Amino acid sequence: MQNSRDFEAVRNDITKILRKPEYDDGSIGPVLVRLAWHASGTYDKETDTGGSNGAGMRYEEEGGDPANAGLQHARVFLEAIKEKHSWITYSDLWTLAGVVAIEQMGGPKIPWKPGRSDFANDSLLPPRGRLPDAAQGSDHLRWVFYKMNMNDQEIVALSGAHSLGRCHSDRSGFEGPWVPNPTRFSNQYYKLLLKLKWQPKNWKGRQGMPFQWAAKAPGVGDDGEELMMLPTDMALIQDPSFRPWVEKYATDKDLFFDHFTKAFAKLIELGVYRNEQGIATFDHLNNSGGMAEYKSAPQKSMRPGASDSGKDGVQISRARL
């Protein structure tokens, strides 16, 4: 299967669309990383459900999860790639886009294997509530990540993806970037966690806003943009098991890149069971057995909130794009 598909051409086309001056900080790279993360982070080792196989975010039950707010933009950005390479599955496209974006933003080259298949309907979707709630603390982080068979070191390493992107008040409720250069993958997130004097954010009368931490980067004036940290970020330096890893990554970029590479590669393989041909099946979910095939779902529309049918007219359950 892998030899008959030009995944390198897909990689190249993803690279070409990353720069988008009108979007956040001029790049869609960070939101593509978040898409790959959230598409994979629903895995639960106890029930062996969820994970990157299936591309369940095409359906309202998963795509409409409040934890996935804003990811409709990432999915629409990738529709041009899907239109050109209609053979690729969404579950492969979303995860590949994440690893390409990380590398192109200065991060490590993360191993990626193709072969994921797309759900034909929404009957195998994982339940909502498995993704991290940024308003929580260390106990919540462990509850979420331990379900994915991740340990404390991997929790801290994966949190380093917060060196990319920013929060939006109309999506998560939180607002602002974690670092001054949110389109460059680095270990700066850990350095700033330890170095800056974080204070509760003053929302200046804005009602209903969530609690978050705020600080100014060195040299930034009163009118400059504040950086932010979420409660789950601050938990990394408050928890005695997490903090040593923050300190190590803050001083050793190579160690962080190595650990992040391994943890992210593990993340995007969660829930993926390949046969001898390298094709991921859903047999562990529905006991279907039989011959598996690399089957791509019909292309969705290139606009948010599209109709219930794919571009080729095949009816599919409504997805929030």
Residues in CB range of 147: below 8 A, 6 or more apart: 43, 44, 45, 46, 130
Question: Is 36 a residue whose pLDDT tops 60?
Answer: yes
Cα–Cα distance measured from residue 217 to residue 98, given in angstroms and rounded to the nearest whole number: 27
pLDDT of residue 314: 33
Question: Is 318 a residue whose pLDDT tops 60?
Answer: no
φ, ψ dihedrals at 118, nearest 5°: -100, 140
Domain with CATH 1.10.420.10 in the chain: 138-264
Q: What residue type is 304 in one-letter code?
A: P
Judge whether 245 counts as a catalytic residue: no
**Residue-wise burial string across 258-284, b where 16 or more C-beta atoms lie within 10 A, e elsewhere:** ebbbbbbebbbbbbbbbeeeebbbbee
Q: What residue type is 31 in one-letter code?
A: V
3-state helix, strand, coil in the chain (%, to 5): 40, 5, 50
Cα–Cα distance measured from residue 185 to residue 162, given in angstroms and rounded to the nearest whole number: 9
Taking CA atoms, 146 is separated from 241, 243, 295, 310, in Å, by 14, 18, 31, 36
- Mind listing the pLDDT tens digit for each residue in 124-145? 999 999 999 999 999 999 999 9
Residues in CB range of 190: below 8 A, 6 or more apart: 160, 246, 247, 249, 250, 256
Question: Is 321 a residue whose pLDDT tops 50?
Answer: no
Taking CA atoms, 217 is separated from 106, 175, 223, in Å, by 21, 16, 12
Residues in CB range of 110: below 8 A, 6 or more apart: 99, 102, 103, 261, 264, 265, 268
> Domain 138-264, what fold?
Peroxidase; domain 2 (1.10.420)
Residues in CB range of 275: below 8 A, 6 or more apart: 281, 292
Selecting among 37, 38, 85, 259, the annotated active-site residue is 38
- Proportion of the chain above pLDDT 70, given as a percent: 90
Length of the chain: 321
Burial of 31 (0-12, 13-18, 19+ CB in 10 A): buried
- Mind listing the pLDDT tens digit for each residue in 287-309? 544 445 677 888 876 665 553 33
Taking CA atoms, 243 is separated from 107, 133, 160, 177, 249, in Å, by 22, 20, 13, 21, 10
CATH 1.10.520.10, applies to 2-131+266-286: yes
pTM: 0.90
pLDDT of residue 291: 44
pLDDT of residue 276: 85
Judge whether 284 counts as a catalytic residue: no
Domain with CATH 1.10.520.10 in the chain: 2-131+266-286
**What would the two tokens of residue 213 be?**
């931490």
- Mind listing the pLDDT tens digit for each residue in 212-259? 999 998 888 878 899 999 999 999 999 999 999 999 999 999 999 999
Cα–Cα distance measured from residue 248 to residue 152, given in angstroms and rounded to the nearest whole number: 13
Selecting among 37, 94, 112, 178, the annotated active-site residue is 178
